[in-house]
Structure 1
Amino acid sequence: MDFVKDWELKWEDALKLWSDYVKLTPAKFLFSKSEEKTEGLSGSFAAIRLLDHRVLLSVEQIQKYKLENYPLEILGHEIGHHVYCPGDLNDQAKLIYLAGLALPKLGHLTSTIVNIYEDLYINDHLKRYNHLRMEEVYQRIGKNEDRFWNFYMRTYELLWALPSETLTEGKVDDLIQSDASLVCRMIRNFPNDWEKGMFDFASICFPYFFKSDGETIQILGKISSILDTLDAGKGMAPPSGITDIEVESEIFSSELGSIKKRELSPTDFSSICNAMGIEADISDIVYRYYKDKALPYLVPFPELRTPGAKEEILEGNDLWDPGSPLEKINWMESAIRSPIVVPGYTTVEDVYGETESQEVKMNPIDLDLFVDCSGSMPNPQTSLSYLTLAGAIISLSALRTGSHVRVTLWSGKKEYKTTSGFIRNEKEILKVLTGYFGGGTCFPLDLLEDGYKEKPKRKRHILMISDDGIDTMFTQRYPKDPRSIVKNALETAEGGGSMVLQLYNPKGNKIVTEMGESGWEIYPIQNWEGLIQFSKKFVQKNYVRNQILHQTNS
C-alpha cells in the first residue's frame, strides 16, 4: 500500500492534465471490501461520484491488476469523467436516453455501454494530448476472447496505431474490424460533441450481446472491472432540463425516421434516473419532469394593480390665521419676512397640495384549481398528461407573482386529493397535480361549500380543467342545491371563474351552456394538447391586456 502516498502526491499533476484551473476534492482511497461497499464501489477498481465530485479508488483491486505504477493514467481518467465526459448529471442522462433508444431489450446494459463510450473519448484524449500509457493499463487488466471485448480493444488499437493483438486476443474478424473503424471515426469526429455519436455507438454494440438463437449474452467480468460511472448519480436529485432530447445518427438514420427531437415521457425520465443510480421516489421524479416541461411556458398570473395613496407636495406659504393651530407656523419663513413677529400679520404657514403617488401596489389573485382525474384522463406518471402540464404552467405562474394556490385532484364521490389550503409550496402543489385516481366522476362540491362560506381576504380565481364530467357539479345528489353552492363560491371568490373543457359537441351540452350563462368563462377544446394554448390565452386575457390598459390610462 506504499503507492497510496505517491498517488496522493500526483493528484495535482493529474488535475493539470485537463487544466491549470480544475479544482476537485482529492481522491478517496478505500482499503477494504467493507469500505468499498459503504461507498458504493463494486466490481471496478475506480469510480466517480457526481454528488460530491469525488473519485473513489479500490486499493485491493489496483494491487490485484498491478496498476500501482499508473497514477496519472487512472487519476487522469477519473478526473476526465468529471470535467470532460460526461461532466455533469444532465449530460449523463442524455447519453443514457440515447443509448436506450438503440438498445431495445437491453435496458440493463444501457449504463455499461454509455460508460464504455465515455471511456473511449477520455482515454484517447489522454493518449494523444498527454502521451500517457493508456494501452498498458488495459494490458494489465488482460485479454479476453469475448467478441465485444475484442471489438472494444481493436478500437483502441486503431485509434493509437498499435499493432494487431497488442490488446486483442487472436485475429479479429472482418465485422469487428469494420465496427472498430466506424467507432474510431466517431471518436475523432465528435471530440467535443459526443452526444452526436451515442446512438450510433450503441447501435453498433447491440448485436454483440446476442447469440445466434437470439438469447442475450451476460456481460463479462473484464468489462465490469473498468466500469466507473454506473452509479454516478447515486444520492442526487433527478436531473433537470432533459424533457426533450435531440437524436442524431450518421449511420443508422433510417431507424430514427424523420423524428430528430424526442419528447420524453414520464416513464422514459424514470428509466433514465434508475439507470444512473438515482434512488428517488416516483413522486419526486414526476414532480421534476412536469416542472421542467412547464418552465418554458411560465407567464405572469392575473393580479390587481392599485395606485398608492396620494402624496403631499409643498406649494408655498400663506398668512397664518390666529385661529389655526400654533404648530402650523413656519417660524423660519416668518422671521425671514420680518424680524419682529406679529401673530396674524407677519406669521406664515406652509400650504400643501396633492400629487399622484408613483407607487403601485400589487394585489395578486389567488388560484383555486380543480383538475379532473377520472378514468377518462391520462395517468401523468406514465405518459405526458396535458391536464397536469397546464395545471403546472398556471400554478407556477401564479406563484411567481405572489399568489397562493390550492390544487384539488378529483375523481369519484369523496375521491379527491387537495393541498393543505392555499399555499406557496411548489413541490406540494405539483405532487398533488401529478397524482392519479382513474375512478368515476363526481365533482367535490363540499370543497366549494366549505371553502367559500366566508369572503376570503384576497380575491380568488376558480379554474376547472375537465371534460363532460364537469356536469356532475350540477347533476349529483347533494344535501343542498348544487347550483346555489356554485353560485355562492363564484360570487364570494370575486376573482372570476373559468372552465377549460374537452367537449366533442360544445353547443350540445345543456349543463355546460347553463354554467356559461351563470357567470363561468367556458373554454372548449377538441383535444388535451389545446390546454397549452389555453394557458397562454388565459394569461393574455386576464393579465397582460389589463396591465397595458392600466399603463395607458395612467
Structure 2
Amino acid sequence: MSFRTAELAQRWQQQWPEALRAWGRFTRVHPPLLCASTGRARREGLHGSFAMFRLSDRTVVLDLTAAVELGLAEHGVEVMAHEVGHHVLCPADLADSARLLARVRRGLPGLERHAAVVANLYADLLINDRLQRSRGLDMAGVYQRMRGPKGDNPLWAFYMRTYELLWALPRGTLTDGVDEDTDADASLAARVARVYAHDWLAGAGGFAMLCYRYLAELAERDVTRLLARTCEPGVHAGDDVPGLSADDDGPLVHPLHDPSVNDFAPEQDGEPEEAEGQAPAGGQHREPFEYGQILRQLGFDLSDEDISARYYRERAAPHLVPFPVRPRPAPSEPLPEGLEPWDVGEPLEQVDWLASTLRSPLVVPGLTTVQRHFGVTESGGGDPEPVDLDIYVDSSGSMPNPRKQVSYLTLAGAVLALSALRVGARVQATLWSGTRQVLVTDGFVRDETAVLRVLTGFFGGATAFPLPTLRDTYARPRRTTHIVVISDDGVDTMFQHADEQGRPGSDIAAAALAAAGGGGTLLLNLWSEHRLAALEAMAPGWDVHRVTDWAQLVDFAAAFSRRTYDRSRA
C-alpha cells in the first residue's frame, strides 16, 4: 500500500459514518472493504469499476488506486454513500436486482445483452438524484471529476444531460453539448427519475426504452467502457434469487406516451399498450433460456445444468407436498394395575405402606408388604416407510428441450421426484430417447441435484423405451416402488419392442410391475380416446392416465404426490 492510498484509506474510513448518515441515523452496513490495489479489488469481485456494493454480503468494495486515478480522493462520502444507496434504495437485494434486469430487458428488444449496463445507469440515476437534492452531497462534482474524454458516446451524453436537467446545472457542465432529440430524451428521463422515485421498478422499462436508440448506435467496445463507469453487485454461485422464474411484469409504455411523465400524452383507456417494436409482455413464467440469461447478467457463473435445475426446482416448489411433521406424543401418566408382593432386596421406596398397613396392621417385610404394579401404555406404530419412485421421462424429438423452453414433462417429473425425496423416499430418474440414448441416476438416490440433472437433460432423438434399464432395475428384490412413465403414444415401444436379449417388452414391463410392488402409472399425452384404449389393452395392470395438453401433466403430478406422499392427509 502506497503512502497515498494508505492515507486515503484512513480518511475514507473516518468518513464512513457520515456516508451512512446520508441514508438515515439507523442505517447499518458492514464496514467498507478498502482495497489498496486494483488486483486486490478484482480478487474481491470488483471488475471494470472503482466501487461496488456486493449484495450477497452487503459490503461496499472500493478500489482506492482507481479512485485516486479518477481524482475522487476528496469525494469519499459521496462515493461510499452512493454504494450504500444500492442497498437502501435500488436495487436493495438480489431478488430486486433480478426483477430490475428483467424489466430493463423488456425495454431493449434485440439488445438484451446490454441490460446490465442500463440497469446500473438507472439505479445510479435514482441514487445520485436522492443524494444530490435531499442529502446535499456533491454528486455533480463526482461526475465532473470523471468527465474526461468520452469520445463519441451518445448514450453517455444523453445520461449526463439528464443529470444537468435534474440538478438545474448550466448546459455543458457535464456534457459537450447535445442535439435537440437527445435533449428531449434527457428531459423525459429526468421526469421518469422523479415520477418513479418511490416506485423505481415501474419506471425501469421506460428508461430502457429511452436508452435503446443510443445503444443501437454504439459498438460493443464503447458499451463496455460505459459499464466501467458504473457499479455492479457481486454474487456467489450459492446465492439464491427467489421468484425469478415468475414473469410478473406488467406492460411497458414509452415515457413519451406515459401521462405520468409527459403532461401532453393522451390518457390511456384500460391497460397501456406495448410500444411499437416492443416485445409483448410475457406469460406467467419466464422461459428457461431467459431465466438463465438474467442469472448470468446478475454475475452468476453457472452451467446450463445448474441453471435448469434451479429453474425447475423453483417452478416445482408450489406443487410439492409439505415437509412431514412428526407430532410429539402427549406425556402419559403411569397406569396402576394392582398390587403385588414386595420382597426384601427390592428398592424400599417401592413399598406401598398404606396398602401394606391396610392388608395387615403388623407389617412383616417380605410377608405382608406389597407394592403397586403399574402398566405400560402401548405407543403408536412408527411412521410408514415411503414408497420409492422410479420415473422414466421421454426425451425424444417430439419433446421440448427443457433448457430452452418450458418442458412440462420435466416439471411434472420434478414435482413427483422432489415430493418423494421430501418425505424420505428414494428416486431413480431415467431420461430416454432412442436406442442407447439413456441417462440414469446412480440407482435410487436421495440427491435432488442428481435427479434434476437427469430430468433437465435432452436427447431429441428417436423413440425407444429403455427396456434394459427397466429389466435390470427389478432383476433383484428391492423396496416397494412405484413406476411412473411420462411420454406420449411413443410409450408403445415399451410393450411392442424387445430388449437386446430378444425378451418381449410386454413381459419385461409385467415382471417389473410385479416386482416393484407399488404399482405403475403411464402418464401420457394422447390425441384420442381410441389411442388410450389401445394402450390400456397393451398394458394390463398399469394405471394409464391420459392428458390432452402438456400443462395438465403438472396437475396430475401434484395430485399424485398428495395422494402418495402427503403425510398430513393421513
1:147 aligned residue (151, 154, 177): 154
Shift of 1:468: 1.3
In structure 1, the residue matched to 2:466 is 444
Deviations 1:332-371, CA, capped at 9 Å, x for gaps? 3762432457999967786777866456523222211111
Q: Which runs of 5+ in 1 are unaligned?
A: 321-325
Residue 168 (1) aligns with residue 175 (2): yes
In 1: Cα distance, 2:518 partner to 2:30 partner? 54
Counterpart residue identity of residue 100, structure 1: R
Quickly say closer, same or farther: Cα 1:532–1:156, change in 2 above 3 A: same
Counterpart residue identity of residue 242, structure 2: S
Quickly say closer, same or farther: Cα 1:41–1:343, change in 2 above 3 A: closer
Does the 8 Å contact 1:266/1:286 carry over to 2?
A: yes
Does the 8 Å contact 1:471/1:511 carry over to 2?
A: no
Does the 8 Å contact 2:339/2:370 carry over to 1?
A: yes
In structure 1, the residue matched to 2:263 is none
Residue range with higher mean Cα deviation, 335-344 or 290-299: 335-344
In 2: Cα distance, 1:331 partner to 1:210 partner? 96
Residue 203 (1) aligns with residue 209 (2): yes
Residue 187 (1) aligns with residue 193 (2): yes
Quickly say closer, same or farther: Cα 1:20–1:339, change in 2 above 3 A: farther
| TM alignment of 1:239-388, pairs within 5 A | 239-248=241-250, 249-251=252-254, 253-255=272-274, 259=281, 263-300=285-322, 314=335, 316-317=337-338, 332=352, 335-337=356-358, 338-340=360-362, 357-358=379-380, 361-388=383-410
Residue range with higher mean Cα deviation, 438-447 or 478-487: 478-487
Residue range with higher mean Cα deviation, 484-493 or 125-134: 484-493
| TM-score normalised over the length of structure 1 | 0.85
Shift of 1:224: 4.0
In 2: Cα distance, 1:312 partner to 1:414 partner? 63
Counterpart residue identity of residue 226, structure 2: I
2:231 aligned residue (221, 228, 232): 228
Quickly say closer, same or farther: Cα 1:296–1:43, change in 2 above 3 A: same
Quickly say closer, same or farther: Cα 1:267–1:312, change in 2 above 3 A: same
Which secondary structure does the structure 1 equivalent of 2:247 belong to?
A: strand
In 2: Cα distance, 1:382 partner to 1:332 partner? 78
Which secondary structure does the structure 1 equivalent of 2:53 belong to?
A: strand
In structure 2, the residue matched to 1:157 is 164
Quickly say closer, same or farther: Cα 1:515–1:276, change in 2 above 3 A: same
Counterpart residue identity of residue 177, structure 1: D
Does the 8 Å contact 2:104/2:208 carry over to 1?
A: yes
| TM alignment of 1:127-138, pairs within 5 A | 127-138=132-143
| TM alignment of 1:446-461, pairs within 5 A | 446-456=468-478, 458-461=479-482
1:425 aligned residue (433, 439, 447): 447
Quickly say closer, same or farther: Cα 1:547–1:17, change in 2 above 3 A: closer
Residue 504 (1) aligns with residue 527 (2): yes
In 2: Cα distance, 1:294 partner to 1:274 partner? 22
Shift of 1:85: 1.4
Identity %: 38
Quickly say closer, same or farther: Cα 1:514–1:315, change in 2 above 3 A: farther
Deviations 1:136-172, CA, capped at 9 Å, x for gaps? 11111126564322321222122222233322323x4
Which secondary structure does the structure 2 equivalent of 1:384 belong to?
A: coil
In 2: Cα distance, 1:543 partner to 1:69 partner? 63
Shift of 1:182: 2.0
Counterpart residue identity of residue 223, structure 1: L
- How many equivalent pairs are there? 534
Residue 522 (1) aligns with residue 567 (2): no
> What CA RMSD, in Å, does the superposition of the two structures yield over aligned residues?
3.5
Counterpart residue identity of residue 521, structure 1: D
Does the 8 Å contact 1:302/1:364 carry over to 2?
A: no
Q: Which runs of 5+ in 2 are unaligned?
A: 258-271
Which secondary structure does the structure 2 equivalent of 1:362 belong to?
A: coil
Shift of 1:68: 1.2
In 1: Cα distance, 2:31 partner to 2:43 partner? 18
Quickly say closer, same or farther: Cα 1:245–1:193, change in 2 above 3 A: farther
Quickly say closer, same or farther: Cα 1:204–1:353, change in 2 above 3 A: same
In 2: Cα distance, 1:302 partner to 1:476 partner? 41
| TM-score normalised over the length of structure 2 | 0.83
Residue range with higher mean Cα deviation, 288-297 or 101-110: 101-110
In 2: Cα distance, 1:220 partner to 1:371 partner? 44
In 2: Cα distance, 1:232 partner to 1:543 partner? 40
Residue range with higher mean Cα deviation, 157-166 or 394-403: 157-166
